[in-house]
A and B are shown apart, each in its own frame.
Chain A
Amino acid sequence: MEQKNNTLLIYTLLYFAFLYIPVLFLPIFSFNDANYMSFPLSGFTTEHYEEMWAKTNLHKALWASIKVGVVASVVSTTIALFAAKAFARYKFRGQNISYGAIMIPFLIPEIILAVAILVIWLSLGFKLGLVPVTLGHILFCTPFAMLILIARIEGFDFSLEEASRDLGENAWGTFYRVSLPLYLPGIIASLLLSFIISFDEFVLAFFLTGSDATLPMYMWAQMRFIQKLPHVLALGAVIIVFTTFIVLLAFWLRNLGQGKEKAEFGIKIHE
C-alpha cells in the first residue's frame, strides 16, 4: 500500500511539472538581465517591465483585445444561455441536429473557420478590423459557453420557475427573480471562460484584424525581432498572472453562489 501511494505521488508531481515548468520559465526569464532565453541567468532586472509599460502600441492592442473579449463573451454567453435553456428544458424535434450545429465550430479547425469568415467578409465588401474578429470569436466561444451553461441548467428544478409563475410573477419577473440568480454561477463562469478564450485567440485574429492588432497579434509581431523578446516575456508573465487571477475569481464567485452565505440577487421586497 505504502509503495502504491508513493507511485501515485511521483506521478502527480511529474504531471504538475510537465504542466507548469515550461510556463514558469516565462516569469523567470522576464526578470533576467539579457536578451536571450538561456541559462545561466545573468542578473535581476525589472527593465523589461518598464519597457513593456512604455509601448503605446501594446496599450492599443490590449485595449482592442479587451473590447473584443468583452463583446464576444457577453454575446456568446447570452446566445448560449437561451440555447442551453431550450436544450435543458424542452424536448423538441431536431434537438440533436441543432445541438450538433451549435457545437460544430468547436470541432472545425480554426484556420478553416478563419479563411471562411475572411472570404465572406471581403466578398460582402466590408473592411477587415475588430468587427469581424469579434464575430469570429462569438462563433468560436458560443460552443464553450453552451457546454458550461448546459452543465449548470441541466438538472435544474424547473418547478421553481413554475412556482414563481404560480406566486404571481410573469415570465420576465420569474427570469429576473428566480432563474437568473440560480444560473448566475454558470453565467459568470461562461463569461470569464469566453473572455479568456477570446483574449488568447490567435488564428482568427491573424486573418481578420487588418491593421488593428489584438494582444496575441501584437506579441507575434514583436517576436520577429530578437531584441524585443524580453518585453514580450514580461507581457506573457503578466498574462499568466491575470489568467490565474480570473480563474480563482471564477471559483470564488461560484462558491459564493452555492455556500451558506447566499447572495440574494432578486429584488428586495421590503427592508
Chain B
Amino acid sequence: MNDSFIQINGISKHFGNVKAVDDVSFQIKEGEFFSLLGPSGCGKTTLLRLLAGFEYPTSGNLLLDGSDITALPPDKRPTNMVFQNYAIFPHINVEKNVQFGLRKLGLTNDEIIKRVKDVLSLVKLEGYEERYSSQLSGGQRQRVALARALVRQPKVLLLDEPLGALDKKLRDEMQLELRTLQKEIGITFVFVTHDQQEAISMSDRVAVMSEGKIQQMSSPNELYKNPQNIFVSDFIGETNFLKAKTESKDGEYINVNIEDLGSFKIKNNLNISENASDVICSVRPETMMIDKEKSDWDICLEGKIKQTSYLGEMTKFYVETKEIEKIITVSSQYFDNQSFQDGKCFISINLNDISLLNKK
C-alpha cells in the first residue's frame, strides 16, 4: 500500500479575502477511508472540490498516485464524486445515469453492460434500471450516485456529505454499508462530513478542520482520547473544560492546579511548559462517575444537580459544585433522571481521564 497515494502540498484556496483553505499539507494512504471533518465554512468542502478539480488552488500542488493533477480539469482526473444532493440526471433513467461516465473509457458494449450490471448489484439496485430519479427514495438516489461514480473504477472516490439528506435510521444503515463496501472494493475514500459521530464511526483516519486549517489528523480513537487542542476536544464528542495553572514538570507528568480543587499530577501528552501558564483540563462526561455516596476516586466532589436530560440509553446530569466555576456535565448509564430526588450527588474523576490542553 502506498502511504502517500494522495499528496496535498501547501494547498491554499482564497476567495477574495477569505482563505477557505489555508496552506494545508498532508497525505492520504491508498485504500484508506479518510474523513475531512469540521463545522460549516471550515474549508472541508473546498478541499474536496480542489481534489475533484471543480476549483483550482491559489497555491500549492496536488499529487495522485505519483502524478501531478493540480491543473487537470475534472474530466481528466481519476477521481469521482458522490454529490451532497446526489445530482442524478433527471432526464435519463438509472441505467443511463450509471452508463453516463463510461462513454469515454473506450469499452466494448459487452464490457459496459457487465460493468453496469455488476455495480448495480454491488449497491443493491438490480431491477431499478428503468426508474427515473423522481421515482426513487433518498436512499436509492444515494446508491445510484455511488454506482455512477464507482462504475468508472476511480482511484479515489470523493464523497461530499452523502448521508446528510437521509433520516437517522437510514443514515446509520448506510454508514455501515458504505464502510463495508469500501473495505470490499478497496478504493480510497475521501469523505466530507460535519457529523463527528459519522466521521469517527466510519473512518480509518480523520482530519479535523477549522478556519481553513487542519487542527488534528489521526485515527478516530486518538482524536477522541488525545485531542491536540481545545477546538478538537470540543468538536469531537462532548467534554467539560476546567481551568488550571501549571506548576512543576515531573518527567512525562506535570503538576497542575485545577480551579479550587488543588494540585494534581497529570500526564503531559502535549509537553506543556511549567512556568505557571494557564491551561485547560478536558474531562469527558462519560469518564466521570455520579453517585449518591462519596467514592475513593482521585477527585470526588459534592454537587447539586441543576438539570437532567434522559436519553434512554443514558442520562445526562448537569451538576453545580463549589470548587468548579462552570456547571459540569456527567453522563450515567446506571442512574437516571428519577434517581436523585433531593438533587444531592457526588461526582468523581480519575486523573487518567483528564487531558491537558493549551489555552488558545
Residues of chain A at the chain B interface (Cβ within 8 Å): 157, 159-160, 162-170, 177-178, 181-182, 257, 260, 262-267, 269-270
Contact = CB atoms under 8 A, between A and B. Distances in A.
B52 A166 contact: yes
Nearest to A271: B109
A17 to B, nearest CB: 40
Given A167-B152, A260-B132, A162 B91 contact: no
Given A162-B83, A168-B152, A266 B91 contact: yes
A160 B89 contact: yes
Contacts of B92: 262, 264, 266
B91 A168 contact: no
Contact of A262 (B100, B101, B132): B132
Nearest to A158: B87
Contacts of B340: none
A162 B103 contact: no
Given A264-B92, A266-B91, A168 B103 contact: yes
Contact of B113 (A178, A266, A270): A270
B74 A267 contact: no
Contacts, number: 87
Interface string B62-103: 000000000001110001110111010111100010011111
Contact of B74 (A166, A182, A257, A262): A166
Interface of B: 52-54, 73-75, 79-81, 83-85, 87, 89-92, 96, 99-105, 109, 112-113, 132, 148-149, 152
B102 A269 contact: yes
B96 A269 contact: yes
Contacts of A269: 96, 99-100, 102-103, 112
A130 B124 CA distance: 61
17 contacts: A159-B84, A162-B52, A163-B89, A164-B100, A165-B53, A165-B54, A165-B74, A166-B52, A166-B74, A167-B148, A168-B101, A169-B101, A169-B103, A177-B100, A262-B92, A267-B103, A269-B96
A159 B83 CA distance: 8
Contacts of A265: 91
A157 B85 contact: yes
A270 B85 contact: no
Contact of A157 (B73, B87, B99): B87
Contact of B112 (A157, A160, A177, A270): A270
A162 B53 CA distance: 10
Given A159-B85, A182-B91, A269-B112, A168 B105 contact: yes
B132 to A, nearest CB: 6
A157 B90 CA distance: 10
A87 B330 CA distance: 54
Contacts of B113: 270
Contacts of A264: 91-92, 96
A95 to B, nearest CB: 16
A89 to B, nearest CB: 13
A162 B87 contact: yes
Nearest to B103: A269
A265 B92 CA distance: 9
A170 B105 CA distance: 13
Contact of A167 (B53, B85, B101, B112): B101
B241 to A, nearest CB: 39
Contacts of B79: 166
A49 to B, nearest CB: 43
A262 B97 CA distance: 14
Contacts of B101: 166-169
Contacts of B132: 260, 262
Interface centre among B85, B103, B105, B112 (most CB of A within 10 A): B103
Contact of A165 (B75, B89, B105, B112): B75
Contacts of A263: 91
Contacts of B103: 168-169, 267, 269
B112 A166 contact: no
Contacts of B105: 168
B175 to A, nearest CB: 23
A166 B85 contact: no
A262 B75 contact: no
B57 to A, nearest CB: 17
B104 A168 contact: yes
Interface centre among A166, A177, A266 (most CB of B within 10 A): A166
B153 to A, nearest CB: 12
Nearest to A174: B75
A157 B91 CA distance: 13
A267 B84 CA distance: 26
Interface centre among B81, B89, B104, B152 (most CB of A within 10 A): B89
Given A162-B54, A165-B73, A170-B73, A270 B109 contact: yes
A169 B104 CA distance: 8
Given A167-B152, A270-B109, A178 B96 contact: no
A170 B80 CA distance: 14
Contacts of B73: 165, 170
